[in-house]
Structure 1
Amino acid sequence: MSTAGRTAYPADSSTTDSGDRTPRRLSPEASRMPGALGTLAAQLRAELLSSSRVPEYVVGVVAVPIILFTMFGLPNAGVKLPGGTDVGAMMFASMSAYGVVSLAIFTFGVGVADERGKGWLRRMRATPMPFWAYFVAKVVGSLAFCGLILLGTWAVAALGGKVPFDGVRLAQTVLILLAGTVAFSTMGFSLAYWFRPKAASAIGNLVFLPLSFLSGFFFPLDQLPDVLAKVAPYLPTYHFGQLVWSAIAPAQDVIAFGAHPEGSAWVHVGWVLASFVGFGLLARAGYRRELSRAAQ
């Protein structure tokens, strides 16, 4: 029998309730689902487009650390510490670390909570896309914005303040800051899944500001009241700051800057990793709680 008059749709086989196998006509616009990397690339593109279309997000997350450095770092550019490090370089490290923690709290925390409150995450779970792609795209997208923070702050410091940077130390600092973006992502995810979406912004600010001050990002740690100074070493962001400052300058300059480079670098790494794992488990528990509630 001739098939010239038939529509050339791709066909698949499916089993009906009666057990007969009948051809299933697929839409001519149907396409094969991409692999894991293709799915991740598509979600990452959507994530970057979504973030870039919200000017207040770009200003709040990317521009604020650069503005703060311009206000507080540039006036101190040119001042040398005993080991030769420019204070402007130390302020670059401080404001960049501030930007990393800001990304963790407001991108992974407040941002995900907002999407959760709008029902967007519930709709995504109904699609064929593996949900891990959503989380990984969030992290990779935030690395891109972290890069913008570092590039912008460095440009203001190097071009506007003529701050000299040691190339090796700068590269080490950038790597630690990028790693911090990943490490503190779980802190934000746990905030997103354990607090109501409408309260996430307030909780985020309530957590973010004390962490930034107690970690020494805004002023030297030795200027903290004694009670707060005793609390600071128990914060993962404090240890993150120690890693960043120790990367950008030698120990004597870190001390002169007012930070506390006490203990081995591995101790600081251990605190940051423990934070990553601990908050990751907390975020996982919150995510499972969300799934169980959705199933009821």
Structure 2
Amino acid sequence: MTTLIRLEITRTLRNKKFMFFSILYPSIIYLLFSASKTPTDKIPGTDLTFQNFYVVAMASFGALTAVLMGNSERIAKEREKGWVRQLRLTSLPGRGYVLAKIASAAVVTLPCIVVVFVVSAVLKDVRFDAWQWVALTGAIWAGSLVFAALGVAIGYIASGDAVRPITMIIYFSLSMAGGLWFPTATWPDWAQNIIKWLPTHAYAALGQAIETGNAPHAQDVAILFAYFLLFAGGAAYLYRKDTLKA
């Protein structure tokens, strides 16, 4: 399993176009979204400024982009080319394959997050305490593993032709409804009662809690952990199911 993890990480790092797009894309979106806001503009009903909100939102969105889009499309193509069939001839268990994909995706997310933070600090003068920068990086990085597992599962559900539109629908729906593009604090209560159970909402809430000097809420951590078990377990099951078909 460790050999496959090293191979997957190497393949990811060699894909320069994917790395370039994944790392710069969230920073560009951050600059566009925050351009019309001043450092003192606050989100109604909260203590968060728009500048701070978009730092976490776009770092999280960039991590989501890298792990979800990258994993799902890559796996669907690997299935069509026969690479996954070759792996099934080995003794690699389903959980090993899933963990290898998650590990390779994690390599991309870290620079995505760091670049957004550097851009926000240098160009937008965003300031946090040192412990907050470290905590934000760790929380956003760890939370992205949930969506890396989801990307693996999608890669096994969809065919090579269908994987991109399916992933895009899930990707944009989760991003918008979960509050990664726009603040949800002013949404109606009935809508907030629904979206608080989405993984992206819990994901964004991790960073927002740290921004305000607090620890992430236990409910948000539990929600993300439950989704990780669901997605990773589903991905491993689909891998084994695909093996039985072969």
TM superposition score normalised by structure 2: 0.85
Q: 2:134 aligns with which of 149, 153, 171?
A: 171
Q: Tell whether the 8 Å contact from 2:60 to 2:113 is kept in structure 1 after alignment.
A: no
Query: What 5-or-longer segments of structure 2 have no aligned partner?
Result: none
Q: Tell whether the 8 Å contact from 1:183 to 1:272 is kept in structure 2 after alignment.
A: yes
Give the match for residue 69 of structure 1: 30
Give the match for residue 291 of structure 1: 243
Deviations 1:102-142 (A, max 9, x none): 23321222222221222111123335767755443332232
Deviations 1:41-96 (A, max 9, x none): x5445334433443442244222111101211354352265998654232110001
Give the match for residue 142 of structure 1: 105
Give the match for residue 85 of structure 2: 122
CA distance in 1, matches of 2:111, 2:133: 15
Give the match for residue 200 of structure 1: 163
Residue identity opposite 1:273 in structure 2 = F
Q: Tell whether the 8 Å contact from 2:94 to 2:236 is kept in structure 1 after alignment.
A: no
Q: How many aligned residue pairs are there?
A: 244
CA distance in 1, matches of 2:4, 2:38: 41
Residue identity opposite 2:228 in structure 1 = F
Residue identity opposite 1:203 in structure 2 = I
Residue identity opposite 1:214 in structure 2 = A
- Give the RMSD, CA atoms, in angstroms: 2.8
Q: Does 1:47 align with 2:8?
A: yes
Structure 1 residue 154 displacement after superposition: 1.1
Higher alpha-carbon Rg: 1
Q: Which SS does the other structure have where 2:196 is aligned?
A: helix
CA distance in 2, matches of 1:64, 1:228: 29
Q: Tell whether the 8 Å contact from 1:44 to 1:140 is kept in structure 2 after alignment.
A: yes
CA distance in 1, matches of 2:171, 2:191: 15
Give the match for residue 266 of structure 1: 218
CA distance in 1, matches of 2:38, 2:112: 19
Residue identity opposite 1:287 in structure 2 = Y
Q: Tell whether the 8 Å contact from 1:80 to 1:86 is kept in structure 2 after alignment.
A: yes
CA distance in 2, matches of 1:177, 1:197: 29
Residue identity opposite 1:65 in structure 2 = P
CA distance in 2, matches of 1:87, 1:225: 20
Give the match for residue 231 of structure 2: 279
Q: Which has the higher contact order (CA 8 A, sep 6+)?
A: 2
CA distance in 1, matches of 2:51, 2:177: 21
CA distance in 2, matches of 1:280, 1:52: 23
CA distance in 2, matches of 1:234, 1:84: 22
Q: Tell whether the 8 Å contact from 2:59 to 2:117 is kept in structure 1 after alignment.
A: no
Q: Does 1:219 align with 2:171?
A: no
Residue identity opposite 1:265 in structure 2 = H
Residue identity opposite 2:65 in structure 1 = S
TM superposition score normalised by structure 1: 0.72
Name the structure with the higher helix share: 2
CA distance in 2, matches of 1:48, 1:288: 23
Identity score, percent: 21
Q: Tell whether the 8 Å contact from 1:214 to 1:228 is kept in structure 2 after alignment.
A: no
Q: Which SS does the other structure have where 1:234 is aligned?
A: coil
